[in-house]
Structure 1
Amino acid sequence: MNKLTVNQQAEEKLRKGLFLLEKKDFPHLSLTNQCVEVRNAAGKFLGTAYLSAQNKGIGWLISHERITADAAFFRGLFAQAKDRRSAYRQAAHTSAYRLFNQDGDGFGGFTVDLYNDFALFSWYNEFVYAIKEEILTAFRDVFPEVAGAYEKIRFKGLAYESAHVYGAEAPDTFIVLENGVRYQVFLNDGLMTGIFLDQHDVRASLVDGLAAGKSLLNLFSYTAAFSAAAAMGGARQTVSVDLAKRSRELSEAHFRANGLALDQHQFVVMEAFDYFRYAKRHHLQYDVIVLDPPSFARNKKQTFSVAKDYHRLIREALEILSPQGLLIVSTNAANLSKSKFKEEIEKGFAGLGHRYLAEYGLPADFVYNKKDRSSNYLKVFTIKVDK
Structure 2
Amino acid sequence: MQKELDIKIKDALSQDLQKGVPIFLKDGFNEIESLEEGSIIKLRNPAGKFVGKGYVGKQNKGIGWLLTKNEDEPIDTAFFHKKITAAIKQRADYYGNKDTTAFRVFNGEGDGIGGLTIDYFDEFYLISWYSEGIYSFKEMILEALETSVSFKGIYEKKRFDTKGQYLEDDDFVKGERGEFPLIVKENGQNFAIYLNDGAMVGVFLDQRDVRKKIRDTYSKGKNVLNTFSYTGAFSVFAAAGGATKTTSVDLAKRSLSKTTEQFEVNGIDPEKQDIIVMDVFDYFKYAKRKELAFDVVILDPPSFARSKKYTFSSSKDYTNLLKDAIAITEKNGVIVASTNNATFGMKKFKSFVDKAFNESNRKYTIEEEFSLPSDFSISPLFKEGNYLKVLFVRTK
Alignment of 1:316-331 (within 5 A): 316-331=324-339
User: Does structure 1 conserve the Cα–Cα contact (< 8 Å) formed by 2:17 and 2:52?
Assistant: no
Structure 1 range deviating more: 17-26 or 81-90: 17-26
1:156 aligns with 2:161: yes
Q: How many residues align?
A: 385
Q: State the secondary structure of the residue aligned to 2:58.
A: coil
Structure 1 range deviating more: 27-36 or 153-162: 153-162
Structure 2 counterpart of 1:333, which letter?
Answer: N
Shift, 1:300, TM fit: 2.0
Query: Of residues 298, 305, 308 in structure 2, which corresponds to 1:297?
Result: 305
Structure 1 range deviating more: 316-325 or 255-264: 255-264
Structure 1 counterpart of 2:104, which letter?
Answer: R
Shift, 1:70, TM fit: 1.2
Alignment of 1:144-223 (within 5 A): 145-157=150-162, 158-160=165-167, 163-223=171-231
- Residues in 1 aligned to 2:216 and 2:257: alpha-carbon distance in whole angstroms: 26
Structure 1 range deviating more: 28-37 or 232-241: 28-37
Q: State the secondary structure of the residue aligned to 1:119.
A: strand
- Residues in 2 aligned to 1:253 and 1:69: alpha-carbon distance in whole angstroms: 44
Match of 1:43 in 2: 48
1:19 aligns with 2:22: yes
- Residues in 2 aligned to 1:216 and 1:26: alpha-carbon distance in whole angstroms: 50
Query: Of residues 19, 31, 38 in structure 1, which corresponds to 2:35?
Result: 31
Q: Which runs of 5+ in 1 are unaligned?
A: none
- Residues in 2 aligned to 1:337 and 1:24: alpha-carbon distance in whole angstroms: 22
Shift, 1:252, TM fit: 0.8
Q: Which runs of 5+ in 2 are unaligned?
A: none
Normalising by structure 2, we get a TM-score of 0.95
Match of 2:5 in 1: 2
- Residues in 1 aligned to 2:388 and 2:330: alpha-carbon distance in whole angstroms: 27
Match of 1:365 in 2: 375
Structure 1 residue runs of 4+, over 4 Å off?
none
Structure 2 counterpart of 1:151, which letter?
Answer: E
Normalising by structure 1, we get a TM-score of 0.97
Match of 2:395 in 1: 385
Alpha-carbon deviations, 1:219-259, whole Å to 9, x = none? 00000100001111111100000000001100111100011
User: Does structure 2 conserve the Cα–Cα contact (< 8 Å) formed by 1:153 and 1:160?
Assistant: no
Alignment of 1:111-150 (within 5 A): 111-143=117-149, 145-150=150-155
1:307 aligns with 2:310: no
- Residues in 1 aligned to 2:24 and 2:40: alpha-carbon distance in whole angstroms: 13
Q: What fraction of aligned residue pairs are identical, expressed as a percent?
A: 42
Structure 1 counterpart of 2:93, which letter?
Answer: A
- Residues in 2 aligned to 1:56 and 1:8: alpha-carbon distance in whole angstroms: 18
Alpha-carbon RMSD:
1.2
Query: Of residues 259, 268, 273 in structure 1, which corresponds to 2:267?
Result: 259
Shift, 1:8, TM fit: 1.4
Alpha-carbon deviations, 1:288-309, whole Å to 9, x = none? 0000001011122221111110
Match of 1:79 in 2: 85
1:336 aligns with 2:344: yes
Q: State the secondary structure of the residue aligned to 1:228.
A: helix
Match of 2:111 in 1: 105
1:59 aligns with 2:43: no
- Residues in 1 aligned to 2:305 and 2:349: alpha-carbon distance in whole angstroms: 17
1:353 aligns with 2:367: no
Match of 1:226 in 2: 234
